[in-house]
Structures are given as structure tokens and as C-alpha cells.
Structure 1
């Protein structure tokens, strides 16, 4: 079983589906004196996301039989079970409950993955949210939009992420096209879409509220504003902008998010909550019981003084210290920061990544880290969602003016990074 030898009597945490930013968790737990074992929730890997690096784990347990998996996790000595990425949330809830370790339970597991159940759960709690319908029938989806006759509306898959399949529709023809496209596709977790979700459009600016909790004691890790550009019915991510904790509407967003956490009984672990500040007050877009997909520990340590991965490790391994140092508190910004998801209007196979163009961007004063997401031989696609943005650039500086200056330079230079064949 062991891919990496366990050292001494260190505690062990079981991480379910350590994809994407879940790759930051093994090092975070190691910094807090613990080893990690990986639990793979599906027989095959989900290849649409960055795979877990199993060299960082003491072993990999493939979930095929519940009792067998529980036995193997117990044998590993695990004192915590947690989700490394979105698809692992329901299994982490189940395993943690059955092992008797810190758990959010299974009552709201479906609501943390299925966006329809998610919104209905917070509606039942009396919170402001969108009107909606789910159906496997395109005609039923179109009929709801036609009868409601209030456009735009939003069509999306039930359980995907990264704006996959999300379309803002301005008439019934666009609703039909979007619903048909969702039902014809798999989500980013390689699962066929069997139903479509249509929701009323929430006006206003969208924000991120990131938290980590332990035994109901939560710490707000950071609040970010989404800057987006609407292109052909797609709200394309442009920048995530870090917002100081004392600026409006941060306090109102946090108060609303606390109620969402209560409504879904999220008492342990991280959350990544997207909330719109509408003309009628805050309204949930969706919540993920996992790390922020744009989280980079070194970057967040610089601009916030902490990061969600290390806070998550602390919350599970030393809940008393977490409660003492972070419980019920909010972040403070140390340096202004943004994350820029650069779009591409071109598509084609990558013949070469221009090292000189990359170097020119990386040497800008406010560029902390640049992620070149496509390697030679891969394909750059015209950007239609977060997954098809070919560059991610983490930026921080002494002032937002410094960051904005470099941001505009990158907009001019970004298309020089990839040399594409038609």
C-alpha cells in the first residue's frame, strides 16, 4: 500500500480525491506534523483535473467496497477524513461519519454537490436565493422560462464547476440551445449530465467568501470580487480581486455566508462560497465544501498572512488551537492582490511556448506566479469558461495602481505566449 513511508508516530489524515488544489494539502499536513493517505472515490481517475501526486501520500485506497475501505482507513491510523476536491465531498462526509471522526454528516451531502438541492436547502432556511427548476426534459426547461417570461435566465449543469456549461440566456431559443448542450455533454468530473438546472438571473456583483471551520468555529480566510466579461452568453472570469475586510459589502456577505454554513450544517473544513450582492441583498450562487480553485499557499501567505490549506490542516489536527487563534474571526489584507485568468480568442495546437514572452511577463514587478496551463502538443481552445483560460497569473504589489499597470501590460502581451498551429 505504501508509496511513501510513514514516519514515526505522526497522525494521519485521509484525503478523498486530492485533485487540483487538493495537491496543496499533503504539504500542508506535513508542515503540521501529519502524514496523508489518499482515497480515490472512483475506479478510474478523473482526467479533466490535475491528478493527485501519489508520491506525497503513504498510499492510495480505491473505494470499491465500503466496509473494506473503512477497514483500510482505520488500519492507516487516520484521525481525520476530508475532501481534497469537489467530487470527494459526499464520500468524505460518509467515511468521516462512519469512522467517528470530525464530520459534517451526510444529511446535506447531496445539497453540497447538486446545485438544485443546494439552493432549496438555503431557501428552506429562509435565505434569499434564485427561483429554479431542474429537469431532464429540454421542453420542460424551455416551458418554465417561457411561462416565467423574465429574462435573462441561467442554464447550467447540476453538479459541475469552473463555469462549465453555464450560459446566460436572453430568450427561449437560447434556453433551448443551452439546455441541449448541457444534456449532450459530460461535466468536468467526467459524469454525463442527465438533467439541466435553469435559474432566475441574480443581478449585481459576484464575490467569493472563503472559510475554514472546526466544530462550528469558522475563520473567514478572504473575500474576493469577481470581475467578469460577458461574451456570447458566457460570463468569463477576468480577475479575482482581494477586498479589504472593512470595505462594503464584506460584512453583509460574511453574515449571509455564516447562515449558508448553518443551513448546510458545514461545521468542519473549508468552503468556497460564491455570493451575488443583488439589489435585494446577498444571494447564493453556489458553495463548494473544498479549497478555492485559485488558492496558492505561498501567494496567499504574502497577501493575507495565511492560506486555506494550512488552516485546514490546523483545523483538523489541532482544533483547540484553531479555535483560540482563528475561531469567529476574519482576515486582514496585507497586500492588494488579484488573480488574472487570461482568455484566448484563438484556438489550435501549441507548437511552442515562447520562453521570452513568458519571461517578460514574469519579470513584471507585481507578478508573483504565472501558470502556463498548456504544454507543447496540447491544445489551446477559445476561452468559454474558466477551464479554457490558458494562463493564470497571481499578482500582488504595494498598491492596486501598481497591479493595474502590470495587468494592462499582460493583456497586451498574453497572446504572444503560445505559438499555435491552425
Structure 2
């Protein structure tokens, strides 16, 4: 007897955790690739996790092929797959966020305009391919500092904090004509007012408009001399912290405005003097999602929650709908920076061992291999290590974080 089947579109990066989550619920998955070739800048989908691996040609053909397997769902595994998953799930009559607001869930300019139209706090912004137009906008509105970034990328790719006209002039040629993390050539620059305050992640999984908040994390950031912000570590918040109530309430309003009624969302929101303001929302899993790590500190994880929401919606709504997580113990994700550059000739296994043996370390991801080049960190993509850490008390976690910080530059052996 053939097992029930679902479809994942563009399950790159942490989307790789979804096949196993659905298989644990007795559902096989088919992968649908939205582009002729795999996107080279992200961790690709693992082919052996899927019953079949399809490449999208056109809507008519895709619908006919998928109707043969009567899928339970069509779900985006990563942001590039959102528009196609929205459209196909709609055409097949499956649980869907619909296609009417798909653009607003991918295009950061449209996203903020939709949020603003809903009466919610949002950044001032302009979209242009002309730096003089951007300068005129910033000067006329007094928008200094401002933020320049690509229209639909992620992981702080191509994001510049511009303190003055010279910074903005440098940002434009760095963005225009370059390819973003999803292999799309940037033809315009989104320039937004700089939001003062502390930035937070709000991760959710929804079914029929009922969102479960499965984690709130505070970004501890560093601003490099070149104006690039880098995320140093994500720190898990206690849901009872006073900042979380208003932050969660605002984020749910943003999800409603953007039509995110089903599936995951990874929202980035800055809380400033006047309250929360959205930076952006991705209808996807957290890029730092790690099931084993999240199970320890949160009691569950986004991948398993997604699988439950799509395979047993009644149970999901009964156990999680409209609720908020409780932190089981302190946790953080450390995306380590480096100031070194050169070709990697070896991995110092003793340094790796010393990090892995720290009591708080759940997992260490060594992102580079011998033969590759390492460069000074300018964004999340150039961070060379990711360390998932949790402990029963804050002091132990902080002690081990400091130990990792001391060891991190020893992991890669570089040529002379």
C-alpha cells in the first residue's frame, strides 16, 4: 500500500529537516524544484530523502503530475519556493496561504507596504536603481542613517547600514548587478529608514490562522566598520519576559496582514522606543533551526510542528493553536566571526574536539573544508562556524560561550 504523500518546494537549507519530520508521521515527500538548476549558494535538498525529485516546467504540467499522487500538501521548504507552493496548493485545493499576497511574502518592499496599509508600524522606504534618487529621498526625509539591501535575499546578504551619503554611494554598486543568496540578480536597491532598538526573531507555525509561537530569540549584533551588520549570537528569550507580550501580539498582526495563515514563519522585528516594527518575514523555517537542539531548550521544533500541522491539524490546534512556548532552559546560537583570510589547508581537530566537549555545546557546524577560502566575516554567509549551545543555567552557558570565543580562530589551519 502506497503511503500518503506531500510535496516540498525548494527545500534548501533547514528545509532538509522537513522530510524526516513528515516521514515520522507516516508521510512520504516529493521534492519540486522551482528553477531549472539547483541554486548554488544554499545547502541543496538531499535527494535520497524524497520519493521523487521533480523540476517545475509549467503550472498545467505540474498540476497534472501532482494530481496523480493526490498530495496532502504542497509546502515551501525555503523562501524561493513560496510563490510556487502558494499557487500549486491553491490550484489543487489544499491547505494554502493563497497566491493573492505571495509577492508580499517575498518582495521586501511590497511586504512593508502591505504591513503599513494594515495600520501597523513599518519603516519608511524607497525602491530604486538610481543612487541619486535614494540620496534625495534620504535627505528630504532626514533618513540618516538608512539601510540599503536587496529586494528578496536573506542571511544579511547585501545589507548595508549607511551613515551618510558616501556610505550609500558605496552600497549601490555593491548590490546592483550582484546575485543574492537565491541566485537572483539584484536590479534595484531597497532603502529603508534605520530602526533603532533591539532586534528579535519570532518563529511560528500556523494552521488555519491559529499561530503557535515556537520561539523568540534576541539578536546580539555587531556592526562592522564597513557598515555591515553581523549577527553574533541568537539568545533564547523567556516567554515571560516583558518584551515578549507586545512583540508577539504585533508579530501575529503582521502575519495576518501578510496572509500567513498556514505553515512556518520566521519574523524579524525591532523593538524600539515606540514599540515593535517589522524588519521582514520569511514564510519558512528559522535558518538556525536544529531539531535536537530545539527539542532540548524548547520541548519541540519547527519541523515537527509543521509536519503535525499538515498531517493532523485537529491535534495541532488542540495542543498548540494560539499558544506560546515555554523556555525549558537557556540557549543560544553562536555564528562565529573571523578576522582571518586565506586558503584552508586543514581542520584543527583538537580545537574542534575542545569545542564539542564543552558541556553546553549540542552541535558544532564547521562550515568550511580544506581547499576552500576563508575571508573576514561580513555577514552570516561568511561566518565560518555555527555553535548550538544550551545549559540549565545562564552562568554555565555564558562561560562556555566565552570558551568557544577563545577557541574559534584555531579551528581552521590556513596557508602561509
Separation (CA, whole Å) in 2 of partners of 1:350 and 1:52: 26
TM-fit CA distance, 1:278? 1.1
3-state SS, counterpart of residue 301 of structure 1: helix
Q: Is 2:57 the counterpart of 1:64?
A: yes
Tell me by how many angstroms 1:150 deviates: 3.2
Question: 1:3-14 alignment to 2 at 5 Å?
Answer: 8-14=1-7
Post-superposition Cα deviations, 1:15-40, rounded to whole Å, max 9, x if no partner, equal: 00010000000000011110000000
Q: Following the alignment from structure 1 to structure 2, what is the Cα–Cα distance between the partners of residues 345 and 158? A: 28
- Structure 2 counterpart of 1:311: 305
Match of 2:186 in 1: 193
Q: Give the number of equivalent residue pairs.
A: 415
Alignment of 1:253-402 (within 5 A): 253-402=247-396
Question: What's 2:405 paired with?
Answer: 411
Distance 1:88 1:379 in 2: 30
> How far off is 1:79 after superposition?
1.1
How far did 1:218 drift? 1.0
Aligned equivalents of 1:112, 1:265: Cα separation in 2: 8
Question: What is the deviation of 1:148?
Answer: 2.3
Task: Find the counterpart in structure 1 of residue 233 from structure 2.
Answer: 239
1:41 aligned onto 2:57: no
**Candidates 101, 107, 117, aligned match of 1:114:** 107
| Aligned 8 A contact 1:238 1:341 in 2 | yes
C-alpha distance in 2 between matches for 1:135 and 1:421: 42
Contact 1:61 1:69 in 2 (8 A): no
1:31 and 1:336 map into 2 onto residues whose CA distance is 28
SS of residue matched to 1:78:
coil
Equivalent residue number for residue 176 of structure 1? 169
**1:143 matched to which residue of 2?**
136
Instruction: Give the conservation status (yes or no) of the 8 Å contact 1:205–1:277.
Output: yes
Cα displacement string for residues 202-240 of structure 1 (whole angstroms, at most 9, x for unaligned residues): 000000000000111110001000000111211111110
Task: Determine if contact 1:361/1:410 at 8 Å carries over to the other structure.
Answer: yes
CA distance in 2, matches of 1:249, 1:10: 44
1:103 is the counterpart of 2:81: no
Please list every run of at least 4 consecutive aligned residues from structure 1 whose deviation after the TM superposition is greater than 6 angstroms. none
Q: Match of 1:5?
A: none
Query: Is this contact kept in 2: 1:138–1:179, CA < 8 A?
Result: yes
Moved more, 166-175 or 134-143: 134-143
SS of match in other structure, 1:79: coil
Once the two structures are superposed, residues 300-346 of structure 1 have per-residue CA deviations (whole angstroms, 9 ceiling, x without a partner) of: 00100000000001101111111111111000011110000000111
For 1:420 and 1:46, locate their aligned partners in 2 and report how far apart those are by CA, in whole Å. 28
Q: Which runs of 5+ in 2 are unaligned?
A: none
Q: 1:303·1:396 contact (CA, 8 Å) conserved in 2?
A: yes
CA distance in 1, matches of 2:251, 2:75: 21
Note the alpha carbon deviations across 1:67-105, whole angstroms, 9 max, x for none.
111111121231100000010011100010001000000
Q: Deviations over 1:168-218 (max 9, x none)?
A: 011011111101211031101111001100000000000000000011111
What secondary structure is seen at the aligned counterpart in 2 of 1:101?
Answer: coil
TM-score (norm 1): 0.97
Distance in 1 of aligned mates of 2:319 and 2:143: 47
Deviation (angstroms), 1:10: 2.1
1:322-376 deviation line (CA, Å, top 9, x unaligned): 1111111000011110000000111111110111110011001101100000011
SS in 2 for 1:76: coil
Report what 1:4 is aligned to.
none
Cα distance in 1 for partners of 2:69, 2:345 equals 45
The aligned counterpart of 2:152 is: 159
